[in-house]
Amino acid sequence: MIKIYCQQLALLILLSYVHLAISIQARSDREQQVTPAIGNNARVAAGDNTNYRVWGPKVLCSMLPDDFLECNKPIDHKDNKTAKEEKGYGCLKFGGLNYEDVEHTKVQCTVFNDIDCHGPRTFHRDGVPCIRYSEHYFLTTLLYSLLLGFLGMDRFCLGQTGTAVGKLLTLGGVGVWWIVDIILLITNRLTPEDDSNWNPYV
């Protein structure tokens, strides 16, 4: 009885090894000859005619995260639609509070020298938001507005020199302008003059 049991166990192990060998061979065949759908997408993304091994160790350069790339800043066309149409990409305006208010474009990116990847090392990445940051901090500007708003310090900080001088000469519009600007700041209707977003880093 024990002998029959051992024979059955040995046969089961043998069948398992055969199944494993067939699976490994099938996977090896898939790696060497990529399916047309995946192969076409990979070749398009790679930008050349060489076969890209999907299961290989190298990732497509265009699929690398931003941490491994050096990307140019979005081009500012300053509301010039003709220039954007000629270039094919760029920003007509910068800034925006909500996602749907922010314009998106593509920029040219280059992979760092020490990073090994497959395909062109310089390419265009799409979906980059038209946002830029300067030295404008919301909390700092709000404090200026609360404490020194009657002197126009908040608008001076935002680069709105003309209205800041008017606010200074009228002592904050006899207090009315002072209060209005605080409300405008809180509701994000008073923003930096250069159309930059509030700097998120303190």
Please state, in angstroms and rounded to a whole number, the distance separating the CA atoms of residues 187 and 164.
19
DSSP state of 118: B
- Helices 161-169, 176-186: inter-axial angle, 10-degree rounding: 140
- Token digits of residue 182: 């605080």
Please state, in angstroms and rounded to a whole number, the distance separating the CA atoms of residues 155 and 151.
9
Q: For the chain, which residues make up each domain, given as ranges?
A: 61-129, 134-201
pLDDT tens track of the chain, all 202 residues? 555 656 566 666 766 656 666 766 666 555 555 444 444 444 444 445 357 787 888 899 999 999 999 999 999 998 899 999 999 999 999 988 788 889 999 999 999 999 999 999 999 999 999 998 888 899 999 999 999 999 999 999 999 999 999 999 999 999 999 999 999 999 988 999 988 888 876 5
Give CA separation, 136 vs 78, 142, 184, in Å: 21, 11, 16
Q: Cα 26–30–34 angle (5° rounding)?
A: 165
